[in-house]
A and B are shown apart, each in its own frame.
Chain A
């Protein structure tokens, strides 16, 4: 592999993300480190998956990522709506996740009751806006 191929992988990825954003794809990071799974992260994940299948929505993408650091607030998710600041939610269960799914992920209205904060941590960048 050369530097060209390395930057190609990067650019392909960024290109795909940009395209997704233009198509209005909402990305939901479910934080499933050991702490998240222990607190019930799998229930949150399957609740989201179940709702996506039930409604047949195609513009919501689920991603499994690791622990976001705040283990006492697990299970956590981060909702990235195109063109909006990402919102972190904590202490979720299946029912709360469904509420977030409808009001924020589909409806675009963040659910402030369950939110921890909005934005990303310092060195983290959204790849697509670099």
Chain B
């Protein structure tokens, strides 16, 4: 609708000038001069306005009607007619642009259509800093229902009925945890939200805290009501500054509106939440270490029992849940436990958020019902493998999980389904690997990660992991012996069976699962002194395969030390004495002729 014109924007891109060499600016100036609008209607130079297929475009502002200038003749008259009627000019000199090709509906895109959103229902849809928007999307309605119409037992009953299990990885039934925390009579009690997401390749919790922080707060307040706590803590990694900011804003807004603080919603229930930024230790994602960290002590796991529901933070009953678990709670209260139960499988109900990364086309957050198979997640939602590479392995559950191959892609993903195959769902990180990844190197990476992050309390984890890392490094540099494979397996089993906490017990999983499914790759490293994926630099011979070489000379061009000489139509020659083994040539070669 055009009510009046205050500005005219005109396209100054070269593309338009090329189609029709009209100097729109001087044409417009002249026309406005003649019509006496000069000074009253401003001219704005812009970039491309629209796909201009006939000539340069002009746009009337406000309103944004676009017309293409087809001819310089009668331009002034047309413009005059337009101003007089404020209607679409009928003159053939100006035309509306043609309609473009169709944009597919989101329901036809596998990435969006195959997902089921519960936790991420507000992703990218609401402004996290505006509490009104959350309320407008049924926010805090569940809290209201809880406080006014339900007893704490009802809440626990509903959560138990839903079958919700802890989303942090272990899968402990949430309802049972709440029930236990309620049972103990010691006061005060605490609610803790674990936002210390440290797995390499996992970013689900970050996204939930950033885009929908109120959902987490609401879940925590409901939990506080259910177990009888008055104080909640959110433990967030300091590496998530945006999540911290969003949570802080959300807490402030919730306090202003009276969802936090004293006498919430006029029901006499008091609850408040504060934030603890973690200092960046991976082990502080373990519940007891996390509580020590909040208490200001060194973050180290302790022996259980007593469980933290009995004696947790400051020795008081504490209910600790993951960010994603809390984000589910409000929806369970609103829609009922039965509804939640109907999604997913019998043992693992509801949905799970995965962060899909690595060699897939669509990297991102994926929320699917529990029990969806890996093939759907990787090849339909993820869009398959990027580039021309071939799928090789998928790593689930971070440093505690294992690698699976394509023969496992039919497996449904639930808390328990992957255990026989040697992996676990964990907190939901999925890293997809293609054939440019060396599995021995992957095992070394995760072992190195656990060595760095071990808290040092127990010997198997502190010393054992380092010894295992030494064995892996020996294999990687080409000094592996055939007996090393059995040794590696023995070391891994030792660490798994004697470590104190989950970190150490699960740390050998990447080694064990790669040994199981990629035994031939270890064999190649040890017996043939060869790295099939050309990753381990000490095992690459840097030879040019004369048959595969297509004489293109790319390798010679990228070599930083001129160690490859090449002449047109001849096989390149690599001079070993100059080579610094930087692998630039291997990356550049399109024909895999260097190995």
Q: Which residues of A contact B (CB under 8 A)?
A: 1-3, 6, 9-10, 12-14, 24, 29, 31, 33-35, 37, 51, 54-59, 63-73, 76, 78, 85, 87-88, 95, 98-99, 102-103, 105-112, 115-125, 127
Contact B135 A6 (CB under 8 A): yes
Closest to A87 in B: B103
**Residue in B103, B246, B365, B366 with the greatest tally of chain A CB atoms within 10 Å:** B103
B151 within 8 A of A: no
Closest to B382 in A: A72
Contact A117 B242 (CB under 8 A): no
Chain A residues with Cβ below 8 Å from B46 are 51, 98, 102
Chain B residues with Cβ below 8 Å from A111 are 100
Contact A123 B365 (CB under 8 A): no
Contact A66 B123 (CB under 8 A): yes
- How far is B140's CA from A10's CA once the two chains are assembled, in angstroms? 11
Question: Known contacts A88-B106, A123-B117; is A66 also within 8 Å of B59 by CB?
Answer: no
- How far is B128's CA from A106's CA once the two chains are assembled, in angstroms? 26
Q: Contact check: which of B109, B136, B141 meets A13 at CB < 8 Å? A: B136
Closest to A33 in B: B210
B304 within 8 A of A: no
How far apart are B545's CB and chain A's nearest CB, in angstroms?
A: 34
Q: Contact check: which of A55, A103, A115 meets B51 at CB < 8 Å? A: A103
B50 within 8 A of A: yes
Chain A residues with Cβ below 8 Å from B50 are 102-103, 107, 109
Chain B residues with Cβ below 8 Å from A127 are 133, 136-137
Closest to A3 in B: B144
12 interchain pairs (CB within 8 A)? A13-B136, A33-B124, A33-B207, A64-B129, A67-B123, A67-B124, A78-B124, A85-B105, A107-B50, A112-B101, A116-B109, A119-B105
How far apart are B263's CB and chain A's nearest CB, in angstroms?
A: 10
How far apart are B361's CB and chain A's nearest CB, in angstroms?
A: 7
Chain B residues with Cβ below 8 Å from A63 are 127
Chain A residues with Cβ below 8 Å from B137 are 125, 127
Contact B132 A69 (CB under 8 A): no
Chain B residues with Cβ below 8 Å from A102 are 9, 46-50, 59, 64, 66
Closest to B11 in A: A102
Closest to B120 in A: A69
- How far is B117's CA from A124's CA once the two chains are assembled, in angstroms? 9
Q: Mark B253-297, 1 if CB is under 8 A from A, else 0.
A: 000011100000110000000000000000000000000000000
Q: Which residues of B contact A (CB under 8 A)?
A: 1, 6-7, 9, 44, 46-51, 59, 61-66, 97, 99-109, 111-112, 115-118, 120-129, 132-133, 135-137, 140-141, 144, 148, 203, 206-207, 210-212, 240, 242-243, 246, 257-259, 265-266, 361-366
- How far is B243's CA from A37's CA once the two chains are assembled, in angstroms? 13
Contact A118 B105 (CB under 8 A): yes
Contact B148 A3 (CB under 8 A): yes
Contact A9 B132 (CB under 8 A): yes
- How far is B99's CA from A107's CA once the two chains are assembled, in angstroms? 12
Contact A69 B105 (CB under 8 A): no
How far apart are A29's CB and chain B's nearest CB, in angstroms?
A: 7
Q: How many A-B residue pairs have CB under 8 A?
A: 198
How far apart are B133's CB and chain A's nearest CB, in angstroms?
A: 7
- How far is B240's CA from A76's CA once the two chains are assembled, in angstroms? 20
10 extra interchain contacts, Cβ-Cβ under 8 A, other than A107-B50, A116-B109, A118-B104? A12-B132, A33-B242, A67-B365, A72-B362, A87-B103, A106-B9, A110-B103, A117-B109, A123-B117, A127-B137
Contact B365 A71 (CB under 8 A): yes
- How far is B44's CA from A54's CA once the two chains are assembled, in angstroms? 8
Closest to A72 in B: B363
Contact A70 B140 (CB under 8 A): no
Cβ-closest 6 pairs across A and B: A66-B211, A68-B124, A106-B64, A72-B363, A119-B106, A117-B106
- How far is B135's CA from A110's CA once the two chains are assembled, in angstroms? 31
Q: Contact check: which of A67, A69, A109, A119 meets B210 at CB < 8 Å? A: A67
- How far is B101's CA from A112's CA once the two chains are assembled, in angstroms? 6
Contact A71 B124 (CB under 8 A): no
How far apart are B68's CB and chain A's nearest CB, in angstroms?
A: 11
- How far is B51's CA from A58's CA once the two chains are assembled, in angstroms? 24
Closest to A29 in B: B124
Chain B residues with Cβ below 8 Å from A85 are 105
Chain B residues with Cβ below 8 Å from A125 are 137
Chain A residues with Cβ below 8 Å from B63 are 106
Q: Contact check: which of B65, B97, B211 meets A67 at CB < 8 Å? A: B211
Chain B residues with Cβ below 8 Å from A2 are 265-266
Contact A69 B206 (CB under 8 A): no
Chain A residues with Cβ below 8 Å from B361 are 72
**Residue in B112, B135, B242 with the greatest tally of chain A CB atoms within 10 Å:** B112
- How far is B6's CA from A127's CA once the two chains are assembled, in angstroms? 32
Contact B362 A117 (CB under 8 A): no
Closest to B102 in A: A112
- How far is B138's CA from A13's CA once the two chains are assembled, in angstroms? 12
